[in-house]
Chain A
Amino acid sequence: MKVAVIQFPGSNCDRDTVHVLKNALGLDADLVWHNEFNSGPYDAVILPGGFSFGDHLRGGIIAAHSPATETVVEIANEGRPVLGICNGFQTLIEAGLLPGALLRNTCLKFVCKWMNLQVENNNTAFTCSLKKGSKLRIPIAHNEGRFYAEEEILDRLESGERVAMRYVDDNPTGTSRGITGIVNEKGNVLGMMPHPERASDLSLGGTDGLKIFESMVEWARC
């Protein structure tokens, strides 16, 4: 399986993600500069965390207008797995691949913390090797990660099994209904605020994040 990790100016979790894909999972992974991205050879794409284009105007909006993201939209529409982590999640929303908005945390602080998550939908490209209801411990690190949508949209997301994961025990960012990961209708595009690449090595405190990437491999096999 060949995976592209797109690097925008201001991305800062790109190398960590490539490290996990290559060295923890043994996958063929490329770090691809956004202006040089060509969808052809890749089975899956990851938009990493960071502050693409300085987060100017709001997180993810400028990256969403880049030619690389146009290609990501094509890949998503073809059904190939696309994962947006943190700033990548913001970009997927601004590109129209996922609904809602990611607003400033209600606590007005950048929250960097290990969180307990519950998998709400395991019929996605990034949770299919997990059981529904299983718990993951993965850290978050963001200032603008309060998932928001009007109640009617939230109800629709819940009934359509579009909520992939939510916080349990604690909700320090004030995100609607504890939602911290959502998926598109087909299940191949997932955006999540937690950083699975930071929970993929025991020396960093945990390996639950590996299950997100392992699911991608399993999904591609089916």
Chain B
Amino acid sequence: MVNQVFSIEIVISNKPQARDPEGETILRDLFHKGGVTSVKEVRTGKLLAVKVEAANEEEARNKVVSMCNDLRIYNPVAHSLNVRVRA
């Protein structure tokens, strides 16, 4: 099978129970002070946009998840990992 290149986003953010002071500051000092009170929470994170060669979308996603675990791209004690394939 011919491999394709998939665009994948890796999002690393603090777990809900670990405070995210940057998100708290954006919510308080930007959204709420700017009058946008309908926003109730902001969580920040780090985004890695990668291109991966694989036979299909599932394999591409699995490769990235394995890489994140093997290379400790996130610290599982404090971070949540979200891996999504871009259309």
Contact = CB atoms under 8 A, between A and B. Distances in A.
Interface of A: 57-58, 61, 64-65, 93-94, 99-101, 103-108, 148-150, 153, 174
A57 B73 CA distance: 8
B25 interface: yes
A108 B77 contact: no
Given A103-B14, A108-B21, A148 B78 contact: yes
Contact of B17 (A99, A106, A150): A150
A157 B14 CA distance: 21
Nearest to A100: B77
Most buried by B among A106, A148, A149, A150: A148
A101 B79 contact: yes
Interface of B: 14, 17-19, 21-22, 25, 46, 71-73, 75, 77-79
A174 B46 CA distance: 21
B72 A64 contact: yes
A63 to B, nearest CB: 12
B21 A174 contact: yes
B57 to A, nearest CB: 25
Contacts, number: 40
17 contacts: A58-B75, A61-B72, A64-B72, A94-B72, A99-B77, A100-B78, A101-B75, A101-B78, A103-B14, A103-B78, A104-B21, A106-B19, A107-B21, A108-B25, A148-B78, A149-B78, A153-B77
A158 B81 CA distance: 28
Given A65-B71, A108-B25, A174 B19 contact: yes
Nearest to A96: B72
B71 to A, nearest CB: 7
A174 B20 CA distance: 11
Contacts of B77: 99-101, 148-150, 153
Contacts of A148: 18, 77-78
Most buried by B among A58, A65, A153: A58
A101 B15 CA distance: 12
A189 to B, nearest CB: 17
A10 to B, nearest CB: 19
Q: Which 4 A-B pairs have the closest CB atoms?
A: A101-B78, A101-B75, A101-B77, A106-B21
A159 to B, nearest CB: 18
Contact of A108 (B22, B46, B72): B22
Contacts of A107: 21
Contacts of B71: 65
Most buried by B among A61, A65, A101: A101
A42 B48 CA distance: 39
A153 B22 CA distance: 25
Contacts of B19: 103, 106, 174
B21 A94 contact: no
